[in-house]
Amino acid sequence: MRKDIPALLGGKPVFDELIPIAIPFLPRFSDISPGLKDLFKHGQITNARYVKEFEEAAADYLGVKYTVAVSSCTSGLILALKSMGLKGEVTLPSFTFSASGHALLWNNLKPVFVDCEPDTFAISASEVKKKITNKTAAILGVYIFGNPPEISELESISKKHGVKLIFDSAHAFGSKYKGKRAGGFGDVEVFSLSPSKVLTTGEGGIVATNNKELARMVRIGKDYGNPGDYDPEYNGLSVRMTEFSALIGLRALKTLDEVIAERNERAEKYRKRLSKLPGISFQKIDKGNYSTYKMFSMLVDEKEFGVSRDVVMKALSAENIQTRRYFYPPMHMQKIYRNSKKGCMTNTENVADSIVCLPMNSRMREYDVDKVCDAIERIYEARERFFR
């Protein structure tokens, strides 16, 4: 491979401005300014009006009985697991963000990693069955980039073995499984509202459940375990959502469906343009399911495409097009979790070694997608000259 990657497509970047992989979608300032004035007037910036309103609006949107707003998805997962009083092992996918496992470690639970499906990238239900033992306390499923896992199969396994079912739904606020919105599956689902998510509150998370006692435990847990009398029931955390964050979330929630629909349109355009290229494939969304497309990913088969995933990323970077490798390395190969040899999870490792996430953000225009596709097509056309 030539070292002067910028020469690949003409010696200098074609695009003067960066096409970022993600831009947070924020409501117009005019939509939140009255609320900001109210907050500054009264000075109640936690545990007040907007957090309560946001929790109610989120519960209504997700179709669940209870939601608890917290400062992050990770803190929400930690509290949800703590509230369940779990002990032992939890099966989860290796192909996910490290926070999924971190929440287990904070609760002294042992992560047991499972291979993913090669097409949906979701945890393999058939592999989960093989990993269930008498030490298994729960199954942790994940919506990868907003794509639902095999929820019905996981629910069946959970019921058969009498273990809890939890969903890391960080990417999934607005996703649907068989036509039903994420939020009410399993025992609890936890969503992220960080800047890179489709619905953002700046930083934050939502714990969603139909279990009244679990919701109560998480609610007091986000305030040190204090039920209101300063006599803590358990060692909780300080992970409250601010009123400022809730205000942003309330306004952003009103246009969420429109934002997700636009992302699906951009994803379809990517697929239509890039599917013509040899060696390029995409995450499968099963019929009846609906993804938020928190990320849009493609797999690069080096043998068929002619260049590796990493070379594609370097060439796109030289064109001011931002990309990411999610999730690389997979969790079972990360320093903190490494307890197995390379090659033990074939699908996970194949996906992690070939995946590249392309720009997908809520301000992205159709011609931005065309620019990215044009660049990838030119990389393919130049493969013989520049990479061999």
What pTM was estimated for this model as a whole?
0.93
Structural contact between residues 375 and 9, judged by C-beta atoms closer than 8 angstroms: yes
Q: Using CA atoms, how far apart are residues 298 and 369, in angstroms rounded to an integer? A: 14
Which residue has better confidence, 362 or 370?
370
Q: Which of 221-230, 333-342, 346-355 has the lowest mean pLDDT?
A: 333-342
Which residue has better confidence, 1 or 350?
350
Structural contact between residues 139 and 91, judged by C-beta atoms closer than 8 angstroms: yes
Q: Using CA atoms, how far apart are residues 281 and 119, in angstroms rounded to an integer? A: 9
| Interstrand relation of 164-168 and 176-177 (parallel, antiparallel or unpaired) | unpaired
Residue 169: which pLDDT band, with cuts at 50, 70 and 90?
very high
What helix, strand, coil percent values describe the chain, rounded to 5? 40, 15, 40
Q: What is the pLDDT of residue 16?
A: 60
Residue 338 has pLDDT above 90, yes or no: no
For 217, the token pair is: 């435990």
Residue 339 has pLDDT above 90, yes or no: no
Residue 384 has pLDDT above 70, yes or no: yes
Q: Which of 51-65, 157-171, 302-316, 373-387 has the lowest mean pLDDT?
A: 373-387
Delineate the domains of the chain, giving CATH numbers in brackets: 5-24+256-387 (3.90.1150.10), 29-253 (3.40.640.10)
Q: Using CA atoms, how far apart are residues 86 and 84, in angstroms rounded to an integer? A: 5
Structural contact between residues 115 and 124, judged by C-beta atoms closer than 8 angstroms: yes
Q: What is the pLDDT of residue 362?
A: 75
Q: What is the pLDDT of residue 84?
A: 97
Q: Please give the average per-residue pLDDT across 336-343, as a whole number.
A: 74
Q: Tell me the sheet residues that pair with 91.
A: 112, 139
Nearest to 263 by CA among 283, 239, 290: 290
Start-to-end Cα distance in the chain: 7
**H-only helix segments in the chain:** 29-42, 49-62, 73-84, 99-106, 125-131, 151-161, 212-221, 243-253, 256-274, 302-305, 309-318, 346-354, 366-381, 383-387
For 143, the token pair is: 């919506």
Q: Please give the average per-residue pLDDT across 142-156, as a whole number.
A: 98
Mean pLDDT of the chain: 93
Q: Please give the average per-residue pLDDT across 65-88, as a whole number.
A: 98
Q: Please give the average per-residue pLDDT across 15-20, as a whole number.
A: 76
Q: Please give the average per-residue pLDDT across 20-49, as a whole number.
A: 91
Residue 3 has pLDDT above 50, yes or no: no
Nearest to 172 by CA among 185, 158, 153: 185
Residue 307: which pLDDT band, with cuts at 50, 70 and 90?
very high
Q: Please give the average per-residue pLDDT across 261-289, as a whole number.
A: 96
Q: Please give the average per-residue pLDDT across 279-288, as a whole number.
A: 97
Q: What is the pLDDT of residues 206-219, one digit of tens each?
A: 999 999 999 999 99
Q: Please give the average per-residue pLDDT across 260-266, as a whole number.
A: 95
Q: Using CA atoms, how far apart are residues 230 and 228, in angstroms rounded to an integer? A: 6
Rounded alpha-carbon distances, angstroms, from residue 7 to 82, 93, 143, 184: 54, 40, 39, 51
Q: Which of 34-48, 73-87, 331-345, 363-377 has the lowest mean pLDDT?
A: 331-345
Q: Using CA atoms, how far apart are residues 383 and 311, in angstroms rounded to an integer? A: 10
Helices 309-318 & 366-381, crossing angle to 10 degrees? 120
Instruction: Report which residue type is found at 352.
Output: A
% of the chain residues with pLDDT over 90: 87
Under DSSP, the state recorded for 132 is: -
